[in-house]
Chains A and B, each alone.
Chain A
Amino acid sequence: MNDLLNQIRLVADWLTSSKQWHGDDGIPHRLLEHLTYSGLSLLFAALIGLTFGLLVGHTGRGAFAVASVANLARAVPTFGLVVLVVTLAGLSTTPVLVALVALAIPPILINTFEGVRGVDPDTRDAARGVGMTEWEVLVRVEVPMALPLILLGLRVAAIQVVATATVAAYPGLGGLGRFIVDGLSRNDYELVIGGSTVVVVLALVVQILFTALRRFVVSPGLRVSASRT
């Protein structure tokens, strides 16, 4: 218990020290870097994953390929991939971002696909029966009904990107992981634990954002099934 209090005091000291809030090594700059990496990767992954997920889900073609990609992707050690990219392409942001995008696509793709695929065929037929075009069926029926799963996919991808962006500090990228990696190499425990705290807070904020998003955008009629994750 005493130890926990010590740890909290350590973190508080680190967080409130003024040098943490200025310059390239400050929290604001590192946080901005982290958000830029994560946000950009998630954006591109969403564009690609949603497009293909909706397409495959709606047409039903390529379902096996999507399932295989998702299975295989889960087995990829993200840490290894990021380090490999840096070894091959040198330390620059773009190749690492490409790796982050590649890692974020599968969860978005598979959940979007499964969400659209899981729409009751009767509902889909009813939509066609009232004269909707294929595009309308997709946008006005399938997407709203698949939204809980689509959001789940985006959340899993976001969590993964934030985590991998942290690890990307090891081969030399910026972002919040820098505090942890630099602290480790300098044996500066205060830096390690302070950085970890900021990472945890960011992860919690991401989690809360997605929970709130689901509450706002998912149709009330789907709430019951949406509580399953």
Chain B
Amino acid sequence: MSDGEPLVRWDWIADHAGELADYTGVHLRLGLLPVVFGLIISVPLGILCHRWRWLYPPVLTVANILYSIPSLALFMIFVRYTGLTERTVMIPLTLYTLSVLVPNVVDGLASVPEPVRLAATAMGFGPIRSVVQVELPIAVPVVIAGVRVAAVSSISLVAVGQLIGQGGLGYYITRGLQLDFPTPIVTAIVLIMLLALATDALLVLAQRLLTPWSRNKVTAA
């Protein structure tokens, strides 16, 4: 970087506001769709692991192994099959969410008090209705705790996808390096963190709305 160059040039940000907004939208899509896909996979998988405990250790081991593979390497392995597309970024990010979401679904279901489960059975709920209508709603706080971790990590990881041309706001990180100009890099980092933290806050809000009883408990106590 040349001497005298400030960390942030505000006029650059003003000039690029529209473009920044576009990339922010792409970034959110790339970061959050994997969390949605991750949930679609983890909820049934977690229910199965809860029902048949022997299934849990191998599933968890596979999820942890996937999580340990660096994103850059995983992107490259998928490039061969899905090309330089958004899918190549979203598939690995989806796989990463499993290592947080599956344990939280299982732990959430395990946190359901036994009397509640028995009461559901006594009222004539079959195993499937009991899980869907009674146990899952009670598991929501633990599941959302996992979704928060998954969403925040996913949003911050998207940037690496820029190395295959699909990184949302990561575009400004590589651009800044090429131009030896820190403003786009700082802007991208701050925007990505803001997106992650805003998503986190919204999920906390969602949890309050989805579990009104837990709020009542607090006021009653």
Among listed B14-22, B33-41, B116-124, B151-159, interface-contacting one: B151-159
Is the pair A75, B155 in contact by a Cβ cutoff of 8 Å?
yes
Do B70 and A207 touch (CB < 8 A)?
no
User: Does A193 touch B at the CB level, under 8 Å?
Assistant: yes
Within 8 Å CB of A84, what residues of B? 173, 176, 182, 185-186, 189
**Are B193 and A88 interface neighbours, CB within 8 A?**
no
> Which residue of A74, A88, A200 contacts B69 across the interface (Cβ within 8 Å)?
A200
A177 to B67, CA, bound (A): 18
Complex Cα–Cα for A84 and B185 (A) = 6
Residue interface mask B169-200, A partner, CB < 8 A = 1: 01001101100111001101100110011001
Q: List the B side residues contacting A79 at CB < 8 Å.
A: 159-160, 162, 170, 173
Taking A166-B72, A227-B57 as contacts, is the C-beta distance between A87 and B189 under 8 angstroms? no
A80 adjacent to B170 (CB under 8 Å): yes
A133 beta carbon closer than 8 Å to chain B: no
Which of the residues A7, A78, A163 comes within 8 Å of B80, measured between beta carbons?
A7
Known: A76-B156, A199-B72, A203-B68. A83 touches B192 (CB 8 A): no
**Bound-complex Cα distance A199 to B173 (A):** 23
The residue of chain B having its C-beta at the shortest distance from the C-beta of A85 within the complex is B185
Q: What string of 1s and 0s marks CB contacts (under 8 Å) between B64-107 and chain A?
A: 11011111111011011100000000000000000000010001
CB of B157 within 8 A of CB of A77, answer yes
Chain B residues with CB below 8 A from A22, complex form: none
Q: Are A167 and B69 in contact (CB under 8 A)?
A: no
- Chain B contributes a number of interface residues (CB within 8 A of A) equal to 50
In the assembled complex, A229 has its CB within 8 A of some CB on chain B: yes
Verify if B131 is at the interface (C-beta below 8 Å from A). no
> Of all chain A residues, which has the CB nearest B192?
A77
Contact B68 A180 (CB under 8 A): no
Measured in the bound complex, the distance between the Cα atoms of B157 and A74 in whole Å is 10
Interchain CB contact under 8 A, A3 and B60: no
Interface contact B160-A192, CB-CB below 8 Å: no
Give complex CA distance A47, B162 in Å. Answer: 33
- Would you call A213 an interface residue if the criterion is a C-beta within 8 Å of the partner chain's C-beta atoms? no
Q: Which residues of A151-190 are within 8 A (CB) of B?
A: 159, 162-163, 166-167, 170-171, 177, 180-181, 184, 189
Closest 4 CB pairs of A and B: A163-B70, A75-B196, A196-B73, A199-B73
A-B contact pairs, 13 of them (CB 8 A): A3-B80, A71-B197, A74-B152, A75-B200, A76-B156, A77-B170, A83-B176, A84-B176, A84-B186, A86-B177, A181-B163, A192-B79, A195-B76
Residues of B near any A CB (own CB < 8 A): 1, 7, 57, 60, 64-65, 67-74, 76-77, 79-81, 103, 107, 149, 152-153, 155-160, 162-164, 170, 173-174, 176-177, 180-182, 185-186, 188-189, 192-193, 196-197, 200
Q: A72-B197, A170-B177 are in contact. List 15 more A-B contacts (CB 8 A).
A: A76-B193, A79-B170, A83-B173, A88-B182, A166-B70, A166-B73, A170-B163, A170-B174, A180-B72, A199-B70, A200-B69, A200-B77, A203-B69, A204-B68, A204-B69
